[in-house]
Amino acid sequence: MRRIALVVGTMLLGIGAVMAQQEVAVQQQNLMKAQGKDMYGVFGKILKGEIAYDQAAVDAALADLEVQVTKIATTFTPNPKQNVKDASFGASQKIWQNKSDFESKIPPVSKAIAEQKGKIKDSASLKTAYDAIQDKCTGCHDDYRVKLK
Ligand code: HEC
């Protein structure tokens, strides 16, 4: 009886750990999706003409982006060792082998955002800002984001 309880207990612990790791992967992905929402859901859609230029929406997205970026280092501290189920993108295991290099890709994004604050007034200046910020997002994605499908 005790042995069965032990086996069941160990199995449950194993399932718990897998779920926790999936949760970590989801949290990391959600942080990126939040940034994607600002960049592609707001800036990108305005630039493509899918939604009208809206100064309040632009300012709110830039302010949100600035906050989200500061969360990258801590959100990517635990290694989930797995990808989000059925996801299009995953985190490379290289992140946890070169954590300081990974983190060195964050300040350039913050700097690019800070430099654009107060400068976005219309679609033309939004395009300049978008390109400058996107370039720094890509600076990390090229090394540490894996395309899964
Ligand atoms: C320091 C590294 C780093 C920086 C900087 C970074 N990202 Fe990411 N990003 C990642 C990693 C790692 C992933 C893969 C994780 C995942 O999607 O589960 C990712 C994935 C994404 C995804 C795909 C999410 C999905 O659907 O799976 C989007 C969108 C994204 N990032 C947007 C951005 C934007 C916009 C910026 C710049 C404002 C940015 N990221 C800056 C590391 C970074």
Question: What is the number of the ligand 1 atom nearest to the C-alpha of 68?
Answer: 38
pLDDT tens track for 50-103: 999 999 999 999 999 999 999 999 999 999 999 999 999 999 999 999 999 999
Q: Looking at the predicted structure, is the pLDDT value of residue 11 above 70?
A: no
Pocket lining: 62 vs ligand 1, CB cutoff 6 Å: no
pLDDT per residue over 21-42, tens digit each? 899 999 999 999 999 999 999 9
Indicate the pLDDT class of residue 6, thresholds 50, 70 and 90: low
Task: Report the separation in Å between the CA atom of 15 and the middle of ligand 1, taken as the mean of its atom positions.
Answer: 28
Query: What is d(CA 95, CA 84) in angstroms, rounded to the nearest whole number?
Result: 16
Q: Report pLDDT for 37.
A: 98
Q: In the structure encoding, which two tokens stand for residue 40, read together?
A: 């592609």
Is 68's C-beta closer than 6 angstroms to any atom of ligand 1?
Answer: no
- Dihedral angle computed from the Cα positions of residues 41, 81, 77 and 59, in that order, rounded to the nearest 10 degrees: 0
17 contacts 72 by C-beta, under 8 angstroms? no
- The pLDDT of residue 8: 66
pLDDT at res. 20: 86
Q: What own/partner pairs with CB < 8 Å and gap ≥ 24 does 46-55 have? A: 46/123, 46/126, 47/123, 47/126, 47/127, 47/130, 53/122, 53/123, 53/126, 55/121
